[in-house]
Structure 1
Amino acid sequence: MPHWTALVAEKKQRQLESIPQEWIVTPPSDSTLDVSAFPETCGLLNAREIEITNTPVNVLLEKLACAAWTAVDVTTAFYKRAIVAHQLVNCLTEIFVDRALVRAAELDDYLKNTGKVVGPLHGLPISLKDQLCIKGLETTIGYVSWIGQYADKNAVLVDVLIECGAVPFVRTNVPQTLAWPESFNNVFGRTTNPYNRSLTSGGSSGGEGALVALKGSPLGVGSDLGGSVRIPSAFCGLYGLRPSYGRVPYYGARGTLEGQDSVLPVFGPMTNSVVGVKVFMKAVVNAKPWLKDPLVVRKKWDEDEYNLVDHGSGKDLCFAIMWDDGVVVPHPPIRRSLEIVKAGLQKAGHNVVDWKPIKHRLLGDITRDIWNAASAEEFMITTSVTGEPIIATMELDDADAAVASFRPQNGGITAYQLWQVQKLRQDIRKEYLDHWEATACETGTGRPVDAIICPAAPFAATPHGKNRYVDYTIVWNALDYPAAIFPVTTVDSILDGKAPPHAFYDDFDKDIYEMYDPEIFKNAPVCLQLVGRTLEEEAVIRMTEIVDAALLAAK
């Protein structure tokens, strides 16, 4: 094999050649941190393309279905904006313009000849995390060792999206191994945050988050093993959903820790509107994916559940706010966003109580024990093919890096020890279920709490290498609760001044407190998380819509 750097150079050259040269722009200098407005001012997109790329998913689909806009025009508009986004924040991996435009033209011809759409996603460009295999393309998940490995068939979800009429058009950047909440690898480099390029876009779906934030895609697909849809959605100001296990097909994708089937990865949507989340989930689950993936739950879209039949039909809901998880206290912008949501919900007539977290630290530790049982061996085996180094930090300056908190620190545990950890997790899932049920005595509705609202992280998007705590998302993976991300505000240096020291849970909590400086986090989006119960995706989406409407009405 050639030295791994030669493989990277060849791959990067092929990526560069896949970009239409007439779409190359001159991006602002590195000193310009906020590049969110650049795609509309760079001169590449015309007025109609700007209009198309600013249109919500549901309206796009209406325009496509009545042929007001062609699939070719819509795909071209988003493609151009995606290429601009890539030049700003380095968010793309695979770029297949010709293939996507051929697909779009086929959809236009079908509509013209039959008067019918192919499916509920007819003509909609969809970006995919670099994990979802597409026949004839490489899927590296950031490994040099996987350059040159071409898929001989699509992942099941890709087939489902195509059957629904979608147009896959780009794939997006991830961290090496996927097992990191930031996005950097030896093949494609680092993805940055479009609102402040000195900050991370999150991970592992960080390329997806940055692309969708710049409206280079109307709808993206990320994956979530411990927060990888929700963290980049939160850091980039998006709506996103982590569904329960088995609701969205996963088979045929490439991933990390494959064969580990206790805490499973799931695919979920990332988009600029909550309606986009609904459109994706409804289309995918109504396509009967259980006929293509044996692990998918046989459950079509449930309109009664969406109408909150089990939640008082959406009247006088009771939300619980988790102000912190008992491990790390959130930064001032996160606290302010929780207070904004509480006030908005109360003004809309809903009840709000406090959520008492139980065993969140233990849930995080259990989940890491499960993942670490064999992850070090997997990373070593995969990278040994080319000799590429295993990335140990996301820091810009490796010399200043602390011990990596997201790489296994030991050789893993025995099979017997793993079984004990998995049994403990099962027991805590039962304990948490009972804990939730017991809230019926304090809600005032006669029902338990309808949903939990909590931070997605204790901070907004961090400087590169500083995203050191992910248990605000991991716990819901361990419990298999669906969780949606929704935007609330942005970091404001005046409103979000540094808080006085609190009674720290431990030294780590103190470290997180001390990293906050409102000027460093300036302009970062602030999002929160709405959590429901297992396989309750429809209700979670509807309650997120209700919270969204309450926030809008309160402005």
Structure 2
Amino acid sequence: MTQERLWQVLDPSWGDPRALSALLCSSAAAVVLLKWLGHRQVQQKMQEARRSRDLALERMEKAARRFKQENPGTQTTHILSLTMVELAEKLKEGSLSPESVLYSYLDKALEVNREVNCVTDFIHGCEDQLQKLKKQKEKGLLYGIPISIKDHINCKGHISSGGMVKFLGQVKEEDSVIVQVLKHQGAIPFVKTNIPQTMINYDCSNLIFGQTLNPLNHQKSPGGSSGGEGALIAGGGSILGIGSDVAGSIRLPSSFCGLCGLKPTGNRISKQGVVSPLVGMQSVTAMLGPMARDVDSLALCMRALLCEEMFRLDPTVPPIPFDEEVYTSSNPLRIGYYEGDGYFQPSPSMKRAIQQTRKLLQDAGHTLVPFAPPKIDYMVDELFTRGIFSDGAAHLVDCFKGDIVDPNLKSQFNTYRLPAPVKRILAFLLKPIYPRIARDLSALCGVGKNLWDQHGAVAAYRTEFIAKWRKLRLDVILCPALGPAFNHGYAGKLFAATSYTNLYNVLNFPAGVVPVSTVTRADEEELKHYQGHYRDPWDKRLKEAVEGAVGLPVAVQCVALPWQEELCLRFMKEVEMLAHNTKRNV
């Protein structure tokens, strides 16, 4: 039977080749039209979200202006200069009113946002919260403290966009548990802050709300995914923020912006009421935690959160209150340390920060012990990357249906969406030339039916790590935090560079970041000779990413064993104090 006859049997109208040609052309046109209509619908949803944000900011500006006009004598500059502990004391004793503090921060947040684009919404319920505070008999630990909240943490009456079109229009009917607890303690959540699309990136850009800049240098990224928090706090527009961390998303913006940030042990703080594109991912532990300008602020926040109200609202959280005795202890510590992890060579300023901090701690009477994390290559590729993308990145790729990929995420996304056989072939071809990149590609294929083996491997690695820790009789670990701040566009091309932070998500250890120094001209000069461990395209990119950072903050990372947040904070406080005294004496 000829092809023409076959078409006639199937459908007589197809016997004419011209009819068939017209049908094919019209089908192609229909596909193009549908794509165009879909794209247009996405654009309309994004425009509507931007209009809503603009209206919220206008409302915020009117509220701030009204208070200024009615209270011309408010000492805004003085209020903004206070540390959070000082502010809490003045609010509690009544020498400052919650109104004067809130509206001072509203005004400053607007100013910072105009400069760096970090606010996605005004939590207008903050004015109702002010009225409730007047009726409360007991003043909570955070009485009158304005707090910024990362975009994807639910606040009643607001969306949690995740930087994605699929979450737009979904107005939340109740606060997340953490927001409820903050309010119970007298805090006033007042703005939501920007994030990268999907939050699986440590830049801070999405096509809905745009790119957030680093307030310390607009050519640099504020880090991510809690980048809006980092930018707003570093710019002075917030005194305390709540971020989240699955690979360093609290610690990286803290490092890039010169802040203190704490990633607690998984489940020490409730995660109920949080939007995520990776719901159900268990191999790597995500966590909520505080970001602020100093360690005492983090401690005050943790002290407030670890209360009966949180344990009541979320019974899955272990009822462990804050241990004041551990935080205020002055006993000498036995500290393990390493300058590099062997996966990504630290930048010159990262390495120097560890060396200087190690000497300061030693001179202060602490014992410093060299420590080498075991099997870092294996941890990054087989435990972190294969764990976070155990489905071969299928869920993440599905999130982009009906969305447009942000340019800063395209490099990552294009790799994620490759079919598993293609990833395996590329990994095989690249192995002799770029073994590190090849291993990463292979890990992105996921684990399929071997998910239980994956979880078992994580548990075995954690046991091995703790055994090494115990053998050296360590209290805590000092190690690098990735930095200094990256130039725009590099975070999406260097996801694996988070090895210094993602290790502690795999292990599920509490870890915090403390700024200790700034990039010097000598650091910048030494960077010219940076080659990296593998001398592959990733090493070249890292060098380019951190160039031009003279004067920007450099941080270190402080780590403790699970459920020892208080010890981690105590260690962070020690590092902060020694670094501060050094700067003061220079």
TM interval, shorter chain, is 0.7 to 0.9
Looking at CA atoms only, which structure, 1 or 2, has the larger radius of gyration? 2
1:472-551 to 2 correspondences below 5 Å: 472-499=500-527, 501=529, 504-508=532-536, 510-512=539-541, 514-515=543-544, 518=547, 520-551=548-579
Paired residue for 1:419, among 441, 452, 457? Answer: 452
Counterpart check, 1:429 vs 2:453: no
Listed one character per residue, the Cα deviations across residues 488-514 of structure 1 (whole Å, up to 9, x for unaligned) are 112122454225747842134642564
- Aligned match of 2:389: 372
How much has 1:156 moved relative to structure 2?
0.8
Could you tell me how far apart the structure 2 residues matched to 1:47 and 1:495 are? 43
Question: Within the alignment, does 1:54 sit opposite 2:54 as a pair?
Answer: no
CA separation in 1, counterparts of 2:484 and 2:316? Answer: 34
* 2:110 is the counterpart of 1:83: yes
Q: 1:126 touches 1:166 (CA, 8 Å); kept in 2? A: yes
**Partner Cα distance (1:406, 1:199) in 2:** 25
Percent identity reads: 29
Name the amino acid aligned to 1:329. Answer: Q
Given that 1:131 and 1:254 are in contact with CA atoms closer than 8 Å, whether structure 2 keeps it comes out as yes
Task: Give the structure 2 partner of residue 36 of structure 1.
Answer: none
Tell me, yes or no, if the aligned pair for 1:329 and 1:513 is still in contact at 8 Å.
Answer: no
1:393 maps to 408
The offset of 1:477, in angstroms, is 0.5
Q: Counterpart of 2:55?
A: 17
Pair 1:466 & 2:484 matched: no
SS in 1 for 2:253: helix
Q: How has the CA–CA distance of structure 1 residues 543 and 517 changed in structure 2, closer, same or farther, with 3 Å as cutoff? A: closer
Contact 1:332–1:497 (CA under 8 A) maintained in structure 2: no
Residue correspondence of structure 1 range 153-164 to structure 2 within 5 A: 153-164=174-185
Matched residues, number: 507
Superposed displacement of residue 136, structure 1: 1.2
Letter in 2 for 1:427: A
Q: TM-score, normalised by structure 2?
A: 0.82
What is the match of residue 194 of structure 1? Answer: 215
Change (3 A) 1:513 1:11: closer
CA contact (8 A) 1:372 1:408 kept: no
Q: 1:23 to 1:377 in 2, by over 3 A?
A: same
- CA distance change for structure 1 residues 255 and 194 in 2, over 3 Å: closer, same or farther? same
1:328 aligns with 2:344: yes
CA spacing shift, 1:453–1:490, aligned 2, 3 Å: same
Q: Secondary structure at the match of 1:14?
A: helix
CA contact (8 A) 1:160 1:287 kept: no
- In the TM superposition, residue 94 of structure 1 has moved relative to its aligned partner by 1.2
The worse-fitting range, judged by mean Cα deviation, of 289-298 and 424-433 is: 289-298
2:98 pairs with 1:68: no
User: Contact 2:392–2:446 at 8 Å: present in 1 too?
Assistant: no
For residues 42-97 of structure 1, what are the alpha-carbon distances to aligned partners after superposition, in whole Å with 9 as ceiling and x for unaligned? xxx98711221221111111111112111111010111111111111110111134
CA distance change for structure 1 residues 46 and 451 in 2, over 3 Å: closer, same or farther?
A: farther
Matched, 1:214 2:235: yes
State the SS of the aligned residue for 1:526: strand
SS of 1:195's equivalent in the other structure is coil
Q: What's the CA shift for 1:295?
A: 2.9
Please say if 1:146 is aligned against 2:167: yes
| Counterparts in 2 of 1:500 and 1:102: CA distance versus 1, 3 Å | closer
1:142-161, CA deviations, whole angstroms, 9 ceiling, x for partnerless residues? 01122111111111111111
Alignment CA distance shift 1:450-1:49 (3 Å): same
Write out per-residue CA displacement over residues 185-224 of structure 1, whole angstroms, 9 at most, x where no aligned residue: 1111111111111111111000000001011111000001
Residue segments in structure 2 that go unaligned for 5+ positions in a row:
1-37, 63-71, 421-444
Q: 1:138 to 1:191 in 2, by over 3 A?
A: same
1:362 is displaced (CA, Å) by: 1.4
**Residue pair 1:72, 1:105 contacting (<8 A) in 2 also:** no
Determine the C-alpha separation between the residues in 2 that align with 1:409 and 1:209: 33
Report SS of the residue matched to 2:283. Answer: coil
Once the two structures are TM-superposed, the CA of residue 289 in structure 1 deviates from its matched residue by 1.9
Q: CA deviation at 1:256?
A: 2.5
Deviations 1:15-35 (A, max 9, x none): 1122238949xxxxxxxxxxx
Could you list the runs of 5+ residues in structure 1 that have no partner in the other structure?
25-44, 309-313, 440-447
In structure 1, give the amino acid aligned to 2:337: I
The alpha-carbon deviation at position 338 of structure 1 amounts to 1.3
Residue equivalent to 1:100: 126
**Which of 318, 326, 329 is the equivalent residue of 1:297?**
318
1:449 corresponds to = 474
CA displacement 1:386-422 (0-9 Å, x = unmatched): x22233635xxx7xxx566984655543542222222
- Measure, in 1, the Cα distance between the counterparts of 2:248 and 2:465: 19
CA distance 1:405–1:294, change in 2 (3 Å): farther
The structural deviation recorded for 1:343 is 2.1
Equivalent residue of 2:540, what SS? helix
Secondary structure, counterpart of 2:369 in structure 1: strand
Equivalent residue letter for 2:244: S
Query: What's the counterpart of residue 243 of structure 1?
Result: 264
Q: Which has the higher helix share?
A: 2
TM-aligned CA distance change 1:413 to 1:215, over 3 Å = same
Distance 1:543 1:110, change over 3 A: same
Aligned residue for 1:20, secondary structure, equals helix
Give, in angstroms, the shift of residue 226 of structure 1: 0.9
SS at match of 2:308: coil
Distance 1:516 1:76, change over 3 A: closer
Counterpart contact for 2:243–2:250, Cα < 8 Å: yes
Shift of 1:246: 0.8
Give the letter for the 1:159 counterpart. Answer: Q
- After TM superposition, the structure 1 stretch with the greater mean CA deviation from structure 2, 523-532 or 407-416, is 407-416
- The aligned counterpart of 1:258 is 279
Matched, 1:356 2:383: no
| Residues 1:344 and 2:360 are matched in the alignment | yes
Q: Please report how far the alpha carbon of residue 110 of structure 1 lies from its aligned counterpart in structure 2 after TM superposition.
A: 2.8
Give the secondary-structure state (helix, strand or coil) at the position aligned to 2:469.
helix
Q: Tell me if the contact between 1:429 and 1:479 (Cα under 8 Å) persists in the aligned partners.
A: yes
Q: For residues 103-122 of structure 1, what are the structure 2 equivalents within 5 Å?
A: 103-107=129-133, 109-110=134-135, 114=137, 116-117=138-139, 119-122=140-143
Give structure 1 regions of 4+ aligned residues with deviation exceeding 6 angstroms: none
